[in-house]
Amino acid sequence: MTARQARMQRAIALLLTILLGAAIAFSAWGAGSAASPTAPIAWDATRPLTWSEFRGPPPADAALRCEAAAIAMTLGWYATCTISNDPQSGRWRAAVDDALLSVTNTMDPLRSWVALSAQRGDILRHEQRHFDLNECYRRRLKSALLGLEREGPTADAAEQALQAALNQTAQRVLAEANDAQSRYDTLTAHGVDAAGQAQWDALIVSWLTGVPMALPGQATPNRAGSSG
């Protein structure tokens, strides 16, 4: 059996780099905090976000917007595939190398912003839940990509088929993530609806612990992978 390694990398940033905001019912001035690094911040269960990491300038029309803060997040993936040939059938198989698959969920400090009057704990928690919800879909994306494989009459055909399957799978999961983020903002009124926010807090926390995902109003459970 012959085999070769082929690296495949696709930037998901353009597919799901989203700005999601929280609204405030009233304004309260908050104190500034120390500057933090501007590199993308990876989600970490032990390290909640702080306002010092929202380093982007508020838009000129911030006072007219329904949201008082916005978080920019990116889901990304990197896969390596192994391509092998079956000498009996002559077919080629391309498969994701699960050990080298990487799926990331990061927050961009330079594109995330908060109005000075909105540096409140409840607004920060709403933004944190956006990041947590993104993490649920990072795990779902990784679970969907693990073990993916395709066959073809040639090595190139098998590799191209796998690449297409990877892209289609990623786009599907990212569309689901975008829909979930929109629902979260709508059903919490950007964090203003305390009851709605409490419901989503409980849902997201449960999903992070491995409970099958089912969005409010969604009939079919949407399972999130527990890998990573």
Please give the tally of structural domains in the chain: 1
Q: Is 10 a domain residue?
A: yes
| pLDDT tens string 57-106 | 998 887 767 778 999 999 999 999 899 999 999 999 999 999 999 999 99
Q: Is 223 a domain residue?
A: no
Q: Which domain holds residue 175?
A: 3-208
Q: Is 219 a domain residue?
A: no
Position 12 scores a pLDDT of 29
Q: Is 214 a domain residue?
A: no
Q: Is the dihedral of CA 86, 92, 95, 97 positive or negative?
A: positive
- Comparing 7-11, 38-42, 105-109, 174-178, which segment has the lowest mean pLDDT? 7-11
Q: Is 20 a domain residue?
A: yes
Q: Which two tokens stand for residue 180?
A: 């979930």
Q: How far apart are CA 173 and CA 176, in angstroms?
A: 5
pTM of the complete model: 0.80
Q: Is 104 a domain residue?
A: yes
